[in-house]
Structure 1
Amino acid sequence: MPGDSVDTISVSQLTYRHNPDTEPSLIDVDLLLPRGSRTIVVGANGAGKSTLLQILAGKRLVSTPGAHIFVKDRDVFRDSPPGVTFLGTEWAMNPVVRGDIVVSAFLDSVGGYRHKERRDKLLDILDVDLDWHMHNISDGERRRVQLCFGLMVDWDVLLLDEVTVDLDVLVRDDLLNFLKADSEARGATILCKLHATHIFDGLNNFPTHVAHMRLGTFVTQPAAWPVTSDSALVSQFAPGTTLYNVALQWLKEDRDNRQELEKNGRKARGARRDQV
């Protein structure tokens, strides 16, 4: 329940609509994540993963009666918790960070000099050139600057929305090793969304929990990872199954579920072969 100090993130009875006259993006979501956990949420596009992360970050207001959304024992909207960092994909598209400003000046302007040790460690991990001009670098390089900017201040809860998608394999691996070590050393909690199956390759040792969302609800609540003989996931997967194969199976199930709904009246995707 909300207020339980064991759980860093505690959500119950959460339903959310982007507009009053649209179908809900989240439906009666319950979620408990313990302190120090690292949870990966798997699900197809439109499952509600980004919306959930944005709500936990306080970026979308929830007016559903009875909904409880607590982070670090504090109501996200009425008593905003400190130490929560949200990193999303929209940052790289912001005109402010696409202007002609040198990376070193940009980091100084947001207080990087106050966090020199962590900043410098991240600059090395992310292989950032301090002389880059923000308007003249690739999306992947801009993403590295975002990660340095967002992670150089100590965080207690980290909400990641697809921000590793632009990184090359080596930088991504070094970053995830840093985040894992940081989480373990400080008991910090990570919740991240990934949906592209190639991203899961090589992630087996990162999460402590995995979960599956479909059409606004949890099909599989956060379950301890990896799969073992006494795991909650053993009814679905054999012990030792890789995260890549878990994600692949869940996404195939999502597609099959959507296609079954389409047979029963849901708007269909794909080609319209009955039309010229």
Structure 2
Amino acid sequence: MPLITLQSVDFSVGGPLLLDHVELSIDPGERIAVIGRNGAGKSTLLKLIAQEIHPDDGEVRYEAGVRVARLEQEVPADTAGDVFDVVAGGLGEQGALLARYHHLSHAAEVDTDALAEVQSRIEELGAWSLDQRVTETLTRLSIDGDRPFAGLSGGMRRRVMLARSLVSQPDVLLLDEPTNHLDIESIDWLEGFLKSWRGTLVFITHDRRFMRALATRIVEIDRGSLTSWPGDWDNYLRRREERLHSESQENARFDKMLAQEEVWIRQGIKARRTRDEGRVRRLKAMRDERMQRRDQTGKVRMEAAQADASGRKVIEVKDVSVVLGGRTILRDVSTTIMRGDRIGLIGPNGSGKTTLLKTLLGELTPDAGEVRAGSNLQIAYFDQYRATLREDWNAIENVAEGREFVEFNGRRKHIIGYLQDFLFTPERARAPITRLSGGERNRLLLARLFAQPSNLLVMDEPTNDLDVETLELLEDLLGDYSGTLLLVSHDRDFLDNVVTSTLVMEGDGRVGEYIGGYTDWVRQRSARVDVRPGRGEPPQAPQAAAPAVATPKRKLSYKEMRELEALPARIETLEADVARLTDALVDPSFYSRNAVSKSAHSVEMARAQAELDAAYARWAELDA
């Protein structure tokens, strides 16, 4: 029996219905992913399910006793106090009493009268069991209840808000973009936790890997209608393409028939004969039906303005160290970035990715070492905090900066037409920035970014708030970009689909360098040895870590002796393969290849590098 049922639900915020006669049943144990374009009504649907807002028509019905909790997209700005207070706040008045008791009982000087009064009230409400529930929830999510909420990282704040949602023991948990602003480590933790949680889950996300891992059903909102697709993400993509193709064919057939009827009605007096009145009425009905049709919103059309090619060597870094506030953020970092490289930066929030970017771009002077920029660099920078958007300007002013046209790869394009490529109507293009949604702001930043001629593109978290379709178009654009790319992202699929190598913040200021994207890094890091050469340097023999307790060396078997003797030649061959594949990336003709060829080359590079890492690890093991 469904826990929650939506029957014939309508909801409007002005203009066409945001949700039009929606039907939805939510069954126990389901994990439902809600998807759709930015502004399609996904967050509105969650608020309706949570009964925070009410439909204009129709009904949202709960089964008796069903409890629902919703984790909002953003942490409320007024959230304050210790972590225990915030989590207990999910229990209403009883939670507030428990938080008060927690503070009084932990105070340096206990106010016995106040403590007794609170204890009496808790006993009166029978709320002592809830204190244990708060403690168990904090323990389960590995959270310290005595820490101030304001001092937590973004990822830990989201974890605390999740604990606040779970402490009421909901039957249905609603999550709105739970991975936004989380680093990869936090996303992995959340994914694992939700897989083990036994309740019913309804969530909105643009993270395709997160969706693949969790969703048992996908619900799509498109032009006010809601459709349900059992199965996983890949099944949805396949069946959605079939539906859109069928819809397109049916619309084309209808439009052709309507056009024929419009020609007939204009033929003159024959159409007004009595015996043709039925046909006239049918034409009027067809016109009404066509007016009611809500065509699919167009796709974003992206193209990056290209600058002249940079020098072959874009940035060279030698033994760079950066210390901020007494903490070593970068330690002895060396790398060389060549023209055409597409490099992903991976690491936890606060690990130094932005510091590394600023150092590479010359915005931050290192405390030791040297950074050399190549020749003829033209840099375009996407800032995750939207600092490059002026709040007192509208979309047109932010992109055109007083010009009527933008110059684009040898063409002139009117600013309104250019913004329409990014799905801004003339009205939205003239609207104040403060009225734009998060997704619209991100699209505006992309429009501003790609209007700048560049040969070095720097993107810091460009995927937040973008719908999946726009994400995939951005992937295609970056795959075809002829310049050099530096990309910070926590979207694992996006990294896999875009970058050819990664720089990974590995703690204590160390930066590791890997061939391939996120999945390649995960595969290689288990085989990675402690010492790794920088790009372009000859590999050095790995140093085996000294064991805590000395143990006698085991004598190698005959087979192992033969393997050890053969490894140097094997390593030399693999080094040559990696060097050959790396050199191919520097050749400008490489980027004229088709996408399949470039993808195959990336896979081959990842395989060769992984085999080399494994060979070094095996050599160190046998030699020790």
TM-score (norm 2): 0.32
The superposition leaves residues 61-116 of structure 1 with CA deviations (integer Å, 9 ceiling, x where unpaired) of 2241xx13223x35xxxxxx5321111124x2331x1x3x2223444563563313
| Alignment-derived partner of residue 118 in structure 1 | 137
The superposition leaves residues 164-213 of structure 1 with CA deviations (integer Å, 9 ceiling, x where unpaired) of 31322222222222222222xxxx2111111x3xx222542211111221
| Alignment-derived partner of residue 217 in structure 1 | 225
Following TM superposition, by how much is the alpha carbon of 1:51 offset from its aligned partner in structure 2, in angstroms? 0.4
Percent identity of paired positions between Structure 1 and Structure 2:
26
Following TM superposition, by how much is the alpha carbon of 1:26 offset from its aligned partner in structure 2, in angstroms? 1.2
| Alignment-derived partner of residue 267 in structure 2 | none
Pairing of 1:138-149 with structure 2 (within 5 A): 138-149=153-164
| Alignment-derived partner of residue 62 in structure 1 | 55
1:224 and 1:8 map into 2 onto residues whose CA distance is: 20
| Alignment-derived partner of residue 102 in structure 1 | 82
Pair 1:82–1:235, CA change in 2 (3 A): closer
8 Å CA contact 1:214–1:254 kept in 2: the answer is no
Pairing of 1:126-137 with structure 2 (within 5 A): 128-137=143-152
2:88 and 2:10 map into 1 onto residues whose CA distance is: 40
Pair 1:53–1:131, CA change in 2 (3 A): same
Following TM superposition, by how much is the alpha carbon of 1:255 offset from its aligned partner in structure 2, in angstroms? 4.2
The superposition leaves residues 135-164 of structure 1 with CA deviations (integer Å, 9 ceiling, x where unpaired) of 333433322211111113322111111133
- CA RMSD, aligned part only? 3.3
* 1:156 partner amino acid: D
Normalized per residue, the structure richer in helix is 2
Following TM superposition, by how much is the alpha carbon of 1:54 offset from its aligned partner in structure 2, in angstroms? 0.1
Ranges in structure 2 where 5+ consecutive residues have no aligned partner:
90-94, 99-129, 243-295, 302-416, 430-443, 448-624
| Alignment-derived partner of residue 27 in structure 1 | 20
Following TM superposition, by how much is the alpha carbon of 1:254 offset from its aligned partner in structure 2, in angstroms? 5.3
| Alignment-derived partner of residue 202 in structure 2 | 191
Select which of 21, 43, 61 maps to 2:36. Answer: 43
The superposition leaves residues 234-263 of structure 1 with CA deviations (integer Å, 9 ceiling, x where unpaired) of 44479xxxxxxxxxxxxxx8543999xx89
Ranges in structure 1 where 5+ consecutive residues have no aligned partner:
75-80, 239-252
Residue 22 of structure 2 corresponds to residue 12 of structure 1: no
| Alignment-derived partner of residue 190 in structure 2 | 175
| Alignment-derived partner of residue 299 in structure 2 | 256
| Alignment-derived partner of residue 613 in structure 2 | none
- Match of 1:204, SS state, is helix
8 Å CA contact 1:11–1:31 kept in 2: the answer is yes
| Alignment-derived partner of residue 170 in structure 2 | 155
8 Å CA contact 1:8–1:189 kept in 2: the answer is no
Pair 1:211–1:159, CA change in 2 (3 A): same
Following TM superposition, by how much is the alpha carbon of 1:25 offset from its aligned partner in structure 2, in angstroms? 1.9
1:9 and 1:213 map into 2 onto residues whose CA distance is: 18
| Alignment-derived partner of residue 77 in structure 1 | none
Following TM superposition, by how much is the alpha carbon of 1:37 offset from its aligned partner in structure 2, in angstroms? 0.8
2:38 and 2:147 map into 1 onto residues whose CA distance is: 33
- The structure showing larger relative contact order (alpha-carbon pairs under 8 Å, at least 6 residues apart) is 1
* 2:10 partner amino acid: T
Pair 1:137–1:209, CA change in 2 (3 A): same
Select which of 256, 267, 273 maps to 2:425. Answer: 267
Pair 1:222–1:22, CA change in 2 (3 A): same
* 1:113 partner amino acid: D
- Match of 2:174, SS state, is strand
- Match of 1:59, SS state, is coil
Following TM superposition, by how much is the alpha carbon of 1:53 offset from its aligned partner in structure 2, in angstroms? 0.5
Pair 1:156–1:106, CA change in 2 (3 A): closer
1:146 and 1:28 map into 2 onto residues whose CA distance is: 33
- Match of 2:147, SS state, is coil
8 Å CA contact 2:32–2:203 kept in 1: the answer is yes
Give the number of aligned pairs.
Answer: 219
1:163 and 1:132 map into 2 onto residues whose CA distance is: 22
Pairing of 1:240-255 with structure 2 (within 5 A): 255=298
Pair 1:215–1:153, CA change in 2 (3 A): same
Pair 1:235–1:150, CA change in 2 (3 A): closer
Select which of 204, 209, 217 maps to 1:201. Answer: 209
8 Å CA contact 1:16–1:24 kept in 2: the answer is yes
TM-score (norm 1): 0.67
